[in-house]
Structure 1
Amino acid sequence: MYVTDKLTKPLTEVKYLNADNVDRYRCIMRIFFDNYEKLKYWMYQEEVYDELKQDPYFADYKMEQCQQDLNALTAWKNLTADQDTRKVTSLEEFSNRRFRYQMSEYSVEIERLVLRLENLFIEGASLEPTLLERIRINVGRFPQMVSEPLDAVYTWWTDLNNDFIRLNQNYQDYIRDLNSVRAEEMMRTRAFLGFKDRLIEYLRNFIKGLQRNVGIIEEEIRGLPEETKETVLNKVVQYSMSIPRMDVEMSETLIADNIYGRFQSIYDWFVPENGQENEAGKLFDATNEIIRKITRYAAQISERNALGANRKEEYKKAASIFMACEDVRQAHKMAAMIFGLEKPFHLNVKKERETDSMNTTVYEETPEEIVLKPRIRAYREKSTRSGLRDHGAEKARVREQMLKQIKDDREKAEKLIQNGRIEFSNLPVIEPRVREILLRWLSDAMEDAEYSARTDDGRKFVLDMTRASEKCVVHCEDGNFTMPKISIVFQEDEE
């Protein structure tokens, strides 16, 4: 950030939005803005007054009040006044100083912002996969821009930035709306069930667009040569400096910082650095979390509806059955059948069931035997005497198997050492057992401040972390995994 006079001075142009006569000031500025959109830039006091009087709200509005309001807006730099001397026919008309008024540039942008705020909940935000596709296409054209003329490069750069800004703002606004209190309340209503499927399908289509395009964009930006980037961005800076601007002095340094900063924002959005998750990954996680939340709320609503679906009719039917009972004894029997026994006794057996089928009855289960023991204090179970068994042969066999396994693992790990190093980026397809050994070595070394440790047979090694910021893929028999590009360096020679 550069602290300049423009940044520290007060903005008097926004005073009309919160002044005492804000209703008059805002209506006058809206009249000027509507005419500005119709390419009518200059207006006279009488024209402003006539438009205000057309609304019943300004039935008591006077011409003197209009003059005062126009003077206040001129003092706040919302309007610029110019004395019209084209139709002056006398000295008296000249001394009365008939002015025409025009909106300032700040006021035009302020009114555009106010209009956007007024329509914030009407326009809404959206997730558009087409923006990702357009960004992917434009990023892919980066090397082509090296040989294009300056105006074509500037147009391409503007399209890329506009699409990126729309994507960034739209996804933030849309995710914010879905996480708002109003959205949470709507998700708990029954009316949400009909809307749920369309919303989930919309979010899943966007996720598919993310999966198709983000990886390609990341590879394109990562593989972009530094010379190509410098050449293209310098062309954009040169064209920006060549655009003539009225009453504005532009510094080449500020323009270059702005353009390079925008490129860095695009880079950070799609490319993860230093183990940090990029913005695209955060968007992917946030969208998946919203889908899970929507599904959870829908399931709760469905369960609530199912529980109370026909409960009223069931109660009526049960009441009619009880009313048909001949006496209280029959009513008790009916209650036991409908609601179950008042104090039932259950036998609980701790055994694994052979099947979890809900259609299987208890009569089809295999019986379980329960041994009943006397409940007296002096009862003792009979103990059976048995001789001591010699497990020496079995222990020797297990020990031999373990030693053989350790020897095999050590030989397999030794085959991976090349010139005293194990490069994870150059490993062949390895077994899961060998992978566990290598990862255990890494874990032991990572716990040490100097990244050093020893193997099971006492060999000392250190980790080479010089290229840890890069990624590599280790191929295993049961799958692949991505890890930092680390090397294990053995130090027997140094010792």
Structure 2
Amino acid sequence: MEATLFSDVREASYLSTKKTHRYRPIIRYMYEQKRIFNTEVLPIEIFNYLIQHPRFDDYTMEELIADLNALVKSNNLTEIPDNTEVEGIEDFKRNRRLFVLTDFTFEIEKMLTSFEKNFHRIGTSLEPTLPEKLYNSLHRLREFSRRKNMDKEDLVFLNEVWEDMFDKFFKLDSNASMYLSHINAEKLEVIMAQPDAFIVFKDEFVAYLTNFILELKKNAPYIEQLLRDIEGSGFAILKKYLIQFQRSIPKTEVIPDSDFEMAYDEVWLGVTHWFISRDEKESKVRQLERRTNSSIVRVTKLAQQAAERQFYTRNRKTDYLHLAKMVHQQNNLEEAGELFSFLFGFDNIKHFKTNGKETDSAKYTIWDCQPEEVDITYRAKQPTDKQTKRSLKVPAMGEEALQRKRMLEAQRDYEEKEIKKLLDCNYLALRELGTVEPFIRNAILTWINKGMLSKMQDSNICEGRTEHGVKFKLAQVSDDIIELHSPDGILTLPDYEFTFSEVK
């Protein structure tokens, strides 16, 4: 483990400080200028760029100089003094100082811009032909692994094939991972806000992703077989010739063969793990197939939910205005009534069921059927005297059951009376209640539940009706947690208040 892993990265400190809102625009401007080869930038150029944004209306040149000095101390910028003739000391301090973005910070900004671009789109495309191209590269590598001798031209061609194979594999791995990570992330929620766009996106996504997986499934077994043919002695031959090619390239420093060997081993290990399952570890291609299938199912369900939500929340005002215009254009009330019946049907119409059509021909209608007589005689059996007496017989009730029934009726009357007292108060604050009986606590919980079911969005007030028909409003008056005492325990709940109004 290298010692640099235990030290701070000073160059990244500008991303999370109290002045990040000023440092990042400065660094981004320096990055954009370096990209167009304007590496040395004057403070006045930076200042003119920043003040174009409303957030820098009160920004001064003195604050800019202080920010630039801080970025120089954190190794984000390098200062290059310009010693040409100047008119005064202030001109030298402000405008004759040149600043250059360091290479380390340039790579940080390059990485950030790449992440920002990928974050604001659904991801890169999954090229369907990548698996086939990777198969072709591996097929050529297998041919090289069976050679016993190679000349200089063969070594160059072998390295080109190896680089092409790695390029195709890297693109396949990065694009697939990036695409699926975006599909599984919150980006779908953004598309869900536009149901029409989401449904179109769903169709394209399912078709495209299915094509990619079909192509991958078609080539994956052959790629796996090629990798098994090459690994072992075949890969050892390839690695030997690849290292021989690297030694033939002039370099400023001597790189041991062990470093080349480790680099090639890591690449080969990554490729084989992608397509070949080892012990209990599933290969990446199997994981990709499984995740893709689940993503297709998830996107389809989200699209269905979006379509259903659009249907239920659709504004029918335009439709009804069009129908009203059609009715209004009729000559008289009778024609308007006929049109209305066609549009909305008849109220409480009775239907008669027959034995059906005599044929399934499409040209044959119900009007071509022969009339059919239906017997509507009531065929229910008349009850006998014995059945009538049995139904009228009331079982005798014992003294104990009768006493229990009276107690239950008395308890029910008592509960109704106590609950009615609460409803007659028109106002009920739970924090002001003392010890209440369990049936009152249960009634209060039922009212809270009914109110929560009808809670309006972005509102702390809920409305509902009790089982007695009394309309109420439920409001949480504070963030405190109160206690509602009963003989059988203590219930903790938010600080609610009820306001009762008219009876339905």
TM-score, length basis structure 1: 0.53
The residue correspondences of 1:275-294 to structure 2 (distance < 5 A) are: 276-294=281-299
In structure 1, stretches of 5+ residues that fail to align are 325-333, 341-495
Amino acid at match of 1:208: L
Q: Give the structure 1 partner of residue 270 of structure 2.
A: 265
In structure 2, stretches of 5+ residues that fail to align are 321-339, 354-504
Amino acid at match of 1:116: S
From 148, 159, 165, give the equivalent of 2:170: 165
Shift of 1:298: 6.3
Distance 1:305 1:88, change over 3 A: closer
Amino acid at match of 2:134: I
- For 1:388-439, what per-residue CA distance to the aligned partner results, in whole angstroms no more than 9, with x for missing partners? xxxxxxxxxxxxxxxxxxxxxxxxxxxxxxxxxxxxxxxxxxxxxxxxxxxx
In the alignment, structure 1 residue 140 sits paired with structure 2 residue 139: yes
In 1: Cα distance, 2:27 partner to 2:177 partner? 31
In the alignment, structure 1 residue 110 sits paired with structure 2 residue 108: yes
- For 1:209-229, what per-residue CA distance to the aligned partner results, in whole angstroms no more than 9, with x for missing partners? 112221221111110153442
Shift of 1:139: 1.7
Amino acid at match of 2:140: R
Q: Give the structure 2 partner of residue 23 of structure 1.
A: 21
Shift of 1:115: 0.9
- For 1:176-209, what per-residue CA distance to the aligned partner results, in whole angstroms no more than 9, with x for missing partners? 3333466379679964554443332212211221
The residue correspondences of 1:370-449 to structure 2 (distance < 5 A) are: none
Aligned residues of 1:88 and 1:94 also touching (Cα < 8 A): no
Aligned residues of 1:73 and 1:79 also touching (Cα < 8 A): yes
Amino acid at match of 1:321: D
- For 1:219-278, what per-residue CA distance to the aligned partner results, in whole angstroms no more than 9, with x for missing partners? 111101534423433555566685757xx9977645543331121011110122335431
Shift of 1:11: 0.7
In the alignment, structure 1 residue 60 sits paired with structure 2 residue 66: no
From 191, 200, 210, give the equivalent of 2:206: 200
Shift of 1:10: 0.9
Q: Give the structure 1 partner of residue 118 of structure 2.
A: 120
Amino acid at match of 2:271: I
Q: Give the structure 1 partner of residue 235 of structure 2.
A: 229
Q: Give the structure 1 partner of residue 454 of structure 2.
A: none
* More moved, 135-144 vs 216-225: 135-144
Q: Give the structure 1 partner of residue 130 of structure 2.
A: 131
Aligned residues of 2:141 and 2:161 also touching (Cα < 8 A): no
Q: Give the structure 2 partner of residue 211 of structure 1.
A: 217
Equivalent position SS for 1:321: coil
Q: Give the structure 2 partner of residue 396 of structure 1.
A: none
Shift of 1:34: 0.8
Aligned residues of 2:130 and 2:168 also touching (Cα < 8 A): yes
In 2: Cα distance, 1:237 partner to 1:77 partner? 38
In 2: Cα distance, 1:301 partner to 1:91 partner? 67
Alignment: residue pair count: 320
Shift of 1:306: 10
Distance 1:37 1:73, change over 3 A: same
From 210, 215, 226, give the equivalent of 1:220: 226
* More moved, 167-176 vs 201-210: 167-176
In 2: Cα distance, 1:299 partner to 1:277 partner? 32
Q: Give the structure 1 partner of residue 184 of structure 2.
A: 179
**Fraction of identical pairs, as percent:** 26
Q: Give the structure 1 partner of residue 379 of structure 2.
A: none
Shift of 1:156: 4.0
Distance 1:194 1:58, change over 3 A: closer
Q: CA RMSD in A?
A: 4.4
In 1: Cα distance, 2:43 partner to 2:238 partner? 50
The residue correspondences of 1:327-406 to structure 2 (distance < 5 A) are: 334=350
Aligned residues of 1:188 and 1:297 also touching (Cα < 8 A): no
Shift of 1:108: 1.3
Distance 1:316 1:275, change over 3 A: same
Distance 1:188 1:287, change over 3 A: farther
Shift of 1:89: 8.2
Shift of 1:288: 2.7
In 1: Cα distance, 2:21 partner to 2:105 partner? 16
Equivalent position SS for 2:120: helix
In 1: Cα distance, 2:306 partner to 2:56 partner? 51
In 1: Cα distance, 2:28 partner to 2:189 partner? 36
Equivalent position SS for 1:41: coil
The residue correspondences of 1:470-485 to structure 2 (distance < 5 A) are: none
